[in-house]
Amino acid sequence: MIIALYAGAAIIMAGGSLYFAWRDVGFRKFLAGAFFVSSGILFYLYLADVSVPLLGTDFVASPQVSGGRSIVHLILFLVCFYFGFLKPPKA
């Protein structure tokens, strides 16, 4: 039940983030910074070989999961950085 709630909340938050990122350059800049920090922390957890428990469940994310997520967040950082800072907005 908790996993379903986490998944539902993740889908709703991702949809809202995509909506605002599509419409606002400032939000893309914010997301670029957030993804940069997140990828760095996840990469650190991977290098330090730290397992991270998911609050309210018995699930524990392995360091390999953190390493994979850090790569995904780095790619999302690059996309948000390009569309937030480098590409000129349409008139």
Rounded CA separation 55/53 (Å): 6
Domain ranges across the chain: 2-86
Sequential pLDDT tens for the chain (91 residues):
777 888 899 899 888 887 877 788 888 899 999 999 999 999 999 999 999 998 888 889 999 999 999 999 999 999 999 998 998 877 6
Phi, psi (degrees; rounded to nearest 5) at 13 = -65, -40
**What predicted TM-score, i.e. pTM, was given to this entire model?**
0.79
